[in-house]
Amino acid sequence: MSENENVMTKEEFAVYSAKVNEWVKETTPLIQKIEDETVLEDAEYDMEDVVKLLERMQRRQLYTSELKDRIHKAGRAFPVGIWPFSRGRGSSLPVEIQEVLNNHLEIQGKVYSAFWDICVETEGAMNLTSIRLSGRNKDDPHGQYADKDAFVTTMVNAEKQNITQKYRKGQWNGNAEFTFTDGVPADSVESGDEA
């Protein structure tokens, strides 16, 4: 991929820019609390740079890794506030879809937690394959989870990957009822209008 190629779609940029703008809004008032004059000046300059880079990306619809990296470098090194991005791939789902998914995953965690508790209380249940590691686990194929947290975390992460993949394939449109389609994105379905 060329350094000048877009690394985000317009929709992904909308989510990204919303997070950066929220960080700017929350962090800007904190700048004035910086006591060291040099750090204060650098912070003011870096904040202006982040805002200008984001505006340039928006104006030119140029979502390149070079511009994004410059924003992230300034944000991660910022002396106050909490940068909303961690290393690794962040969510590329629209904010409203991510909220629906997060609510779903919270419930999913409670269900798997209760399932674990039932298995612990039921003789022989810890030997069920539904509560064992997958065969793809390199260290201990089909072994037992170390504890409840490891089990719940693994199951919730698997659900998150599954639902995110369904969204990307057009099989889930973000509805809270989690009804799925055959995978034809909504904008490619014929309207049924006669010509």
What is the maximal distance between C-alpha atoms in the chain? 70
Please check whether residue 162 lies inside any domain of the structure. yes
Residues 6+ away with beta carbon under 8 Å from 115: 131
Rounded distance between C-alpha atoms, residue 150 and residue 13, angstroms:
33
Number of structural domains (the chain) is: 2
> Based on the domain organization, do 47 and 101 belong to the same domain?
no
> Based on the domain organization, do 112 and 157 belong to the same domain?
yes
> Based on the domain organization, do 70 and 131 belong to the same domain?
no
Residue 60, domain extent: 10-76
Q: Which of 11-20, 28-37, 50-59 has the lowest mean pLDDT?
A: 28-37
Rounded distance between C-alpha atoms, residue 2 and residue 13, angstroms:
18
Global pTM value: 0.48
Please check whether residue 190 lies inside any domain of the structure. no
Please check whether residue 69 lies inside any domain of the structure. yes
Instruction: Specify the pLDDT at position 115.
Output: 94
Any idea how long the chain is? 195
Please check whether residue 194 lies inside any domain of the structure. no
Contact 188, 171 (CB under 8 A): no
For residue 87 the two structure tokens come to 């290393």
Please check whether residue 90 lies inside any domain of the structure. no
Please check whether residue 193 lies inside any domain of the structure. no
Instruction: Specify the pLDDT at position 191.
Output: 35
> Based on the domain organization, do 107 and 40 belong to the same domain?
no
Q: Which of 8-12, 28-32, 77-81, 177-181 has the lowest mean pLDDT?
A: 77-81
> Based on the domain organization, do 112 and 66 belong to the same domain?
no
Please check whether residue 129 lies inside any domain of the structure. yes
